[in-house]
Amino acid sequence: MQLISLRRPMQAAALNSCRPQAASPAFLSELVSLLRLDVGHSSSGISGRRWAAVKSQGAYKLKNKKTIPKKLGAKRTGDQYVIPGNILYKQRGTIWHAGENAILGRDHTIHAAVAGYVKYYRDPARHPTRQYIGVTFRKEDKLPYPPNAPRVRRLGMVSVTRKTEDTAPPVLSSSGIPLKVVRKAVVPEAKAAATPTESAATPETAAVADVKAVKRTQRQTAKKRKAELAALRAAQRKIQKETRVLHLQSDYSYREHNWEIGRLVGGAGRVQGAGRTQSRRAMLRVRRRKKQIVFGTRKAEARRRRERRLEVMKRAAEKKAKKAAEVEKMAAKEKGKGKGQQKTTTAA
Amino acid sequence: MSRCQQVGRPILRSLQQSVSSRPCSAALFSTTTTRLEDVVADTTSAASSESAPPPPPSGKPTDEEWRQRRLDPNTTTLRWAEKKLIKAGTPPVGSRRRRVAIRTSENIPFEQLPYQAFQEARKILQEDRQEKLDKIVAATARLRFLKQTDPKTLQGGEAMKARRIDSARKYLDELKIQADINDPLVKRRFEDGLGDMSKPIYRHLADRRWRAMDRKIIAQRISQFFIVPDLLPKFEPTADVKLFFRGEKVSPGEILDSRITEVPPSLRVQVFDKGERLLSVAVVDADVPNTENDSFDRRCHFLAANIPWDPTKNSLPLSRVAAAGGDVAVPWLPPFSQKGAPYHRLAIFVLEHKERVDPERLKKLYGGRDGFALASLRNATQAAPVGFNMFRTVWDEGTAAVMERHAIPGAEVEFKREKYESLKPHRKARGWEAKRQGPKYKFLEKYTKRIA
């Protein structure tokens, strides 16, 4: 700094010396003053006069009391033990970067992510100029770790016995009234009770000649069964749609959940008035709105698909178990029969 | 009728006549016989597509015949027919739009299409191909010559000879690809999925397609899930491995339900370099929690070796490795994760080796499953990892049942985060409430019982 402050006076002096001018005592003193180091207090001290008040003594050292101190800087030294969440460094901007097992906070504060020992280091392989603060599990470890070695990890967990939730959800509220009331759908009896016709098996006694007729009846029964199934499914859908579940509210009234009320309009992602539009522009507007609604339902869709898959698996497993049970039953029966026969034979 | 149509008409007619006059019984019921034929004639491995539409036996009702015609993988667009074909293992070829186009267009073989520019372009391409073929002949001759040369006459000796032969072979392979790369028929066959993987051009095209996206995703998973420093010091996949659980494709790194992963997955392994080799498959769990030394272990969930493989093979169900000619050293253990533990990375490695490995030895080495290291397997079998895929598991509602079914202990364990004592010294409670905790202020309990 001193050299820099000297530069200008030196330049001026050099220029002056180059000028063809007779040297005078006044000019010399000027030159000397120019060459003098310009360091505030010493220069004023030399002259032997003080103009400022006593109060100003050392005033430049005092900090402005109007600003709150931010208390930035290192809060933990190298090799010091820290636990998760401890603040290692407070800063404006990233003077230091978060390294191994350290977290950079919202205001660039660096925290420890694990319990261990603080290390200040550089990692030229990651970045040529950045400086990092990291935490290692062992005090003698050095950062950065060698590049192709497996990561040093710690479980940081304790094992306890798992609690199994067997408690059924409460049915009654603390005041003794039911938490929910189901209002069942009213369905016409005949249709709801309709079950698909049992069998359309070919009669064993069918002659070769009327195979065609048998086939026709088969087709018809199949058609009929299909229609019945469709009716049944429609009835089920109706029941599902019209059954209302009313939940107890904090003011002891019963009502549906908000989402259920919303479903009255239609399924998720359904937009009112999207069915028929007057113009192309309206159609586009509806599509835009639909897109906004559909946004974020992709995950739900994936979940639904997964659930469906699980459902299929479950059903297959159930079927298998049922079959196995049946086979077992049959085997047991046969065994019993065999025994019975044996008995009869012995009796005979 | 436009001018060019007028011009093209006589040519078309003559072509159609020549086509229809071909002796072909199938032409009676299929509109696309010529295309089908040309596809079959070009590929050596198209026997499956040939057998797909079985010829209708005479004497059946026309309904049946119509049905059979709809089951042609080259032309069908019906949903039920597509489903049936997929089930039969001969999926419909190309897009539906293309199949419609084939069905409705006239039967002109591709190379005879009556467009002048097209034919001129074809001529240029054919010339180029001829040039490449000549070069191939020359390169083959040179390779033969190199093989016969005495290494003593060369300056570098045996090593130099080997290097020269290697470079000549590389050049030859490149020429083989270059000869076919501009052929539109080759391109079409590849895009239809009818490419013969025993030929270098189709392998080249498949490799290029894999590298365009799928390999990038796999490489990203390898780096983002730290497969590379954790399981292997370095790894560059060269074979395509796709993962299917219960017939459904799983994107790499997906978190899967433990009930779905209860059965072993099936892999689609595509290698892109020629020749027979043996494959090994290892499934490794990289995140087995170890509370004793507060760290993570590895566990082997599946290990099979000696699976004969070549580029024409594709499907490798891990439940039927023995049927494919391999040996299962360590059978499938359903992946599981205990409650509260961080997700487990299940890495599926496909390794390549030249010589057979003794499965008994593998069983002895890795039958214990715990502490499995891929580097150890690599050293023990001289196998190089070529393919990779992965999925993840976490604790879910089905895990306990899965573990019970397979007699895996540890379902009753739950992991909780370790608690750390504060480093600050304990400080006495201060404040109004703290002052009024004694029996003297019992009447103020309503206000003083909650103290932070």
User: Measured between beta carbons, which residues in chain A are less than 8 angstroms from residue B259?
Assistant: 310, 313
Which residues are within 8 A (CB) of B180 and not within 5 positions of it... i.e. 6 or more apart? B129, B186, B199, B201
Q: Which two tokens stand for residue A243?
A: 């059954």
According to the model, what pLDDT value does residue A207 have? 65
Spatial separation of the C-alpha atoms in residues B379 and B79, rounded to whole Å: 51
Q: Does A171 touch chain B (CB under 8 A)?
A: no
User: Exposure pattern of B75-84 as b/e (b: 16+ CB <10 Å)?
Assistant: bbeeeebbeb
Quickly count: other Cβ atoms within 10 Å of residue B452's Cβ.
6
Q: Per mean pLDDT, which of A191-195, A210-214, A336-340, B224-228 is the most reliable?
A: B224-228
Q: E strand or H helix at A194, and its extent?
A: none
**Cβ of residue A310 closer than 8 Å to a chain B Cβ:** yes
Q: Which amino acid is at B108?
A: I
Size of interface A-B (CB pairs under 8 A): 80
Facing residues of B387 across strands? B239, B350
Q: Which of B114, B111, B95, B99 is nearest to B30 (CA)?
A: B99
Residues written for chain A: 348
Interchain contact, B291 vs A158, CB within 8 Å: yes
Best to test chain B binding among A158, A165, A305, A320 (most B CBs inside 10 Å): A158
Residue A133 backbone dihedrals phi, psi, to 5 degrees? -120, 125
Q: Decide if A313 and B259 are in contact by the 8 Å CB cutoff.
A: yes
Residues of chain A contacting residue B234, judged by C-beta atoms under 8 Å apart: 148
Q: List pLDDT tens digits, range A241-275.
A: 888 999 999 999 999 998 888 877 776 666 666 66
**What are the chain B neighbours of A306 within 8 Å (beta carbons)?**
257
Give the rounded distance of the alpha carbon of B73 from its chain centre: 23
The Cα A134–Cα A112 span in angstroms is 8
Q: What tokens were used for B218?
A: 């796999």
Compute the average pLDDT of residues A142-164. Answer: 92
- Residue (of A37, A116, A21) closest to A76 by Cα position: A116
A83 pLDDT more than 60: yes
Q: Cα–Cα distance between B330 and B334 in angstroms, integer?
A: 12
The residue to which tokens 């082997």 are assigned: B300
User: Residues of A with CB below 8 A from B412's CB?
Assistant: 161-162
| Angstroms from A256 CA to nearest CA on chain B | 28
Q: Which two tokens stand for residue B190?
A: 């590849």
**B228, B260, B415 member nearest A309 (Cβ):** B260
Query: Global pTM?
Result: 0.67
> Hey, are the CB atoms on A155 and B412 less than 8 Å from each other?
no
Residue of A86, A115, A162 lying closest to B413 (CB–CB) = A162
Complex ipTM tops 0.90: no
- The dihedral of CA A119, A123, A127, A131: what is its sign? positive
- Looking at the complex, does the CB of residue A81 fall below 8 Å from at least one CB of chain B? yes
The reported pLDDT for the residue numbered B449 is 82
Task: Please report the pLDDT score of residue B145 as a whole number.
Answer: 94
Per-residue pLDDT of chain B (452 residues; tens, 9 = 90+): 455 555 455 555 544 544 444 433 333 333 333 333 343 333 333 333 334 444 444 555 677 888 888 888 888 989 889 989 988 888 898 888 989 988 888 878 888 888 999 999 999 999 999 999 999 999 999 999 999 988 888 888 889 999 999 999 999 999 999 999 999 889 989 988 889 999 999 999 999 999 999 999 999 999 999 999 999 999 999 999 999 999 889 999 999 999 999 999 999 999 999 999 999 999 999 999 999 999 999 999 999 999 999 999 999 999 999 999 999 999 999 999 999 999 999 999 999 999 999 999 999 999 999 999 999 999 999 999 999 999 999 999 999 999 999 999 999 999 999 999 999 999 888 888 888 988 999 999 888 887 76
Does A139 contact chain B (CB < 8 Å)?
Answer: no
Q: Are B201 and B176 in contact (CB under 8 A)?
A: yes
Closest chain B CA to residue A153:
B295
Q: How far apart are the first and last CA of chain A?
A: 128
Cα separation, A192 vs A236, whole angstroms:
8
- Name the interface residues of B facing A (CB cutoff 8 Å): 226, 228-231, 233-234, 246, 248, 257, 259-260, 289-291, 294-296, 338-341, 398, 411-418, 420-423
Taking Cα atoms as reference points, which of B310, B334, B330, B312 lies closest to residue B321? B330
Q: Does A158 touch chain B (CB under 8 A)?
A: yes
| Helix (H) or strand (E) run with residue A70 in it | none
- A-chain CB neighbours of B231 within 8 Å are 150
Q: Which residue has the tokens 């080259």?
A: B74
Question: Could B229 and A313 be called an inter-chain contact, meaning their C-beta atoms sit closer than 8 Å?
Answer: no
- pLDDT at position B26 is 36
Amino acid at B422: S
Per DSSP, A65 falls in state T
Residue A227 confidence (pLDDT) above 70 = yes
User: Is A156 in contact with B340 (Cβ distance < 8 A)?
Assistant: no
CA–CA separation, B418 vs B425, rounded Å? 20
Residue of A nearest to B341 (CA): A157
Please tell me which residue of chain B has the smallest CA distance to A152.
Answer: B295
Strand-by-strand arrangement of the A87-90 sheet? A73-74, A87-90, A110-112, A102-104
Give CA torsion, residues B84, B89, B93, B99, to 10 deg: -20
What 8-state DSSP symbol labels residue B239? Answer: B
